[in-house]
Amino acid sequence: MPDEVMTIGQMCAEFGVTPRTLRFYQSKELIFPIRQGQRRLFTRACRGRMKLIMQGKRFGFSLEDIRQLLNLYNVDDQQTTQLTRTCEKARERLAEMQAQRDELSGAIAELSAQLAQIQNILAQRSAEAAE
């Protein structure tokens, strides 16, 4: 996308969010649109941050975690600090997601077994009633 700014409507369309969501992210210091009178205009940097926000949300990061990681971009070490901290948080989140998956897999297996048992009982009763 060119370096031009985007309006709030264009940002909403591009990221599938509402104006209220963009204002909320601005209030949480996640994005920093420029003001032109009453209008909010979103720069290329805002769009980049928004892309990372949406990805972070998809992975289950808290908005505070996302804000902290985004703010590390400005540390003058070629983003080494940001990348290191992002790896740490990503490893933590991945472990949480894997534990959730394992728990869910166990629940699915247990529910499937229960369902099969109930279906067998119902089939037996149906066969007995037909006799």
Per-residue pLDDT of the chain (131 residues; tens, 9 = 90+): 446 899 999 999 999 999 999 999 999 999 999 998 989 999 999 999 999 999 999 999 999 999 999 999 878 888 899 999 999 999 999 999 999 999 999 999 999 999 999 999 999 999 999 88
6 SS3 class: strand
What is the C-alpha separation between 59 and 98, in angstroms, rounded? 12
Strand locations in the chain (E): 6-7, 34-36, 39-42
Please tell me the distance from the alpha carbon of residue 16 to that of residue 58, in angstroms, as a whole number. 13
The 3-state DSSP class for residue 10 equals helix
pTM (2 decimals)? 0.76
